[in-house]
Amino acid sequence: MKRYLWGALALLLALILGASGYYLYRQATPYQEMVDHGPSPEARANPYLAAEMFMRARGLKVDHANGLEVLATLKPVGNSLLLLGERTNMSPRQVDQVLDWTRAGGRLVFVAEALWDPDTEQSGDLLLDRVQIHQLLSKDLEEPPEPEADDAFPQLTKVYLEDEQAPAYIGFDTDFHLDDPDSLAQSWANSGSATHMIQLDYGEGSVTVLTDAEIWKAPAIGLYDNAWLLWYLNTDTAVTLLFNTDHPSLWQLLWRYFPQALVALTLLLGLWLWQAGTRQGPLLAPAPKARRQLLEHLRASADFLLRHGGHQALLHALQLDIRRRARRRHPGFEQLAPQAQWDVLAQLSQQPVDTIRQALQPLSGQRLSSVDFSHQVAHLQTLRNAL
């Protein structure tokens, strides 16, 4: 009985599950969902990957270089060089190399990187200054280009071609303007507020200056006619995109090619500084706090008086001391005449009057020699000691 009961329950459960599954199958609607994982590692490493792929799709041969060393093997005729990366550290020698290649028949396209400074009459962008094109801010233009009356897209740059009824529209950044002060340009392209592309002949080749190359990065390359302009500027040529034209510094070159020599030089410099800073000779013992005797203090005081008052001050001090002692032993001494004072001192000290007169005579103010000063001091000290 129990076996039949368990079998019935199992059958009932299977029917329920089957019915539920059939119901869900009839109610479920299949759909597809695309998950965007962002740019690929190749696209993140190369901002112009979409531009390269577009030009290859249009039949152009495209190569990517990281330095101007490629010019040594790149023939000018039939080749385009796109300088789209940072050029802040581009050296004058590299500028000459690029322009010589262009003059020989190459097609050069580059982005203006700096603003023209009228005070210094240069921009700091060596390549831009050499082709005599100035970049300014559109808001600083005294006479901006006159907008077309029927211009429906004043923020877009118009590129006009012969035998074409309508222009191509390019999404350049309108904050910047290219100026051609010497009227060298063969063609140019304007928006409603400024000029954003200038083309000029350069020897057997040509130079195209742009205000920015953001139009050829994703996703901007898919807007307007941005991709078309890239193809148009490089038609019938092999294209080389160059991203890195930084000129390495001397220290970078030394570290790249001579790292062992730099390490050895650093160690030698450290050893020399250590040797130069080594103490020579024995250490000086700290001076005792009470190292001076009374005689040293007296000599120091005498030296101080001699430097600041001369011999006269020292002799005058001894004479005053003698008269002070005489007043103590002979009251009223200071009221006596000089001759009477000398007699009193001769009686008190048992010294000759002439010796006393010579010792106490008024000072003349003239500087005494060392011998005369010593004799005068000796007479005064003998007289003072006798009192």
DSSP 23-88: HHHHH-----------S-HHHHH-TTHHHHHHHHHTT--EEEESSGGGGGT--STTEEEEEEEE-T
Do both 233 and 310 map to the same domain? no
Same domain, 236 and 301: no
CA distance 93 to 98: 9
- The whole-number average pLDDT for the span 182-198 is 91
| Span 178-207, average pLDDT | 92
d(CA 56, CA 231): 10
Please give the backbone phi and psi of residue 249, each rounded to the nearest 5 degrees, phi first.
Answer: -75, 170
Average pLDDT on 39-51 reads 79
Which of 106-115, 192-201, 234-243, 252-261 has the weakest average pLDDT?
252-261
Judge whether residue 59 has pLDDT over 60: yes
Please give the residue that has the higher pLDDT: either 23 or 121.
Answer: 121
Decide if pLDDT at 307 tops 50. yes
The pLDDT of residue 232 is above 90: yes
Structure confidence at residue 239 (pLDDT): 93
The answer to whether residue 6 is domain-embedded is no
Domain-embedded: residue 181: yes
Q: How many residues does the chain have?
A: 387
Asked if residue 270 has pLDDT above 80, the reply is yes
- Residue 270 domain-assigned (yes or no): no
Say yes or no: 138 and 215 in one domain.
yes
Once rounded to an integer, what is the mean pLDDT over residues 45-56?
Answer: 87
Which region among 4-13, 166-175, 188-197, 293-302 has the lowest average model confidence (pLDDT)?
A: 293-302
pLDDT at 309 (0 to 100): 54
Instruction: Tell me, yes or no, whether 215 lies in a domain.
Output: yes
pLDDT at residue 263, as a whole number: 87
CATH number of the CATH domain containing 136: 3.40.50
Interval 59-79 mean pLDDT: 89
110 band by pLDDT with thresholds 50, 70 and 90: very high
- Range in 42-51, 137-146, 338-347 with the lowest mean pLDDT: 338-347
- Is 127 found in the same domain as 244? yes
Domain presence at residue 29: no
Mean of the per-residue pLDDT values of the chain: 81
Q: Which of 55-59, 136-140, 167-171, 246-250 has the lowest mean pLDDT?
A: 246-250
CB 158 within 8 A of CB 169: yes
Residue scoring higher pLDDT (167 or 32): 167
Q: Are residues 301 and 245 in the same domain?
A: no
Residue 288 lies in a domain: no
Which two structure tokens, joined as six digits, stand for 169? 């529209």
Contact 233, 81 (CB under 8 A): no
Judgement on whether residues 238 and 372 belong to the same structural domain of the protein:
no
CA dist 386 and 5 (Å) reads 152
Confidence class for position 149, pLDDT limits 50, 70, 90: low
Q: At which residue do the structure tokens 């400024």 appear?
A: 194
Vertex 279, ends 274 and 285: CA angle to 5°? 155
Q: Which domain holds residue 240?
A: 42-251
Cross-sheet strand order for the sheet of 195-202: 62-65, 238-244, 79-86, 107-111, 205-210, 195-202, 187-190, 157-159, 168-170
**Mean per-residue pLDDT for 277-281?**
65
Burial per residue of 266-285, b for 16 or more beta-carbon CB atoms within 10 angstroms, e otherwise: eeeeeeeeeeeeeeeeeeee
pLDDT at 194 over 60: yes
Q: Which of 233, 251, 269 is the last residue of a domain?
A: 251
Task: Please state the φ and ψ torsions of residue 184, each to the nearest 5 degrees.
Answer: -90, -15
Average pLDDT over residues 166-175: 91
8 Å CB contact between 74 and 81 = yes
Task: Tell me which of 198, 222, 251 is where a domain ends.
Answer: 251
Residue 243 shares a structural domain with residue 310: no
Q: How confident is the model at residue 313 (pLDDT cuts 50, 70, 90)?
A: low
190 and 319 assigned to the same domain: no
84-98, 203-217, 228-242: least confidently modelled range: 84-98
Q: Looking at the domain assignment, is residue 46 inside a domain? A: yes
Domains in the chain, number:
2
Domain endpoint, select from 222, 251, 280: 251
Residues 198 and 129 both lie in one domain: yes
Least confident of 34-38, 151-155, 310-314: 310-314
Position 106 pLDDT exceeds 70: yes
Same domain, 222 and 75: yes
Residues 243 and 333 in one domain: no
C-alpha distances out from residue 207 to 76, 107, 183, Å? 13, 6, 14
In a domain, 168, yes or no: yes
The span from the CA of 142 to the CA of 174, in Å, is 16
% of the chain surpassing 90 pLDDT: 33
Domain shared by 192 and 329, yes or no = no
Give me the mean pLDDT over the 306-323 stretch.
Answer: 67
User: What band does 200 get if pLDDT is binned at 50, 70 and 90?
Assistant: very high
What is the per-residue pLDDT for 348?
Answer: 72
CA separation for the pair 362, 365 (Å, rounded): 9
Q: For 184-193, 213-222, 356-365, which range has the lowest pLDDT when averaged over its residues?
A: 356-365
Lowest mean pLDDT among 63-77, 268-282, 301-315, 324-338: 301-315
Residue 245, pLDDT above cutoff 50: no
Percent of the chain beyond pLDDT 70? 80
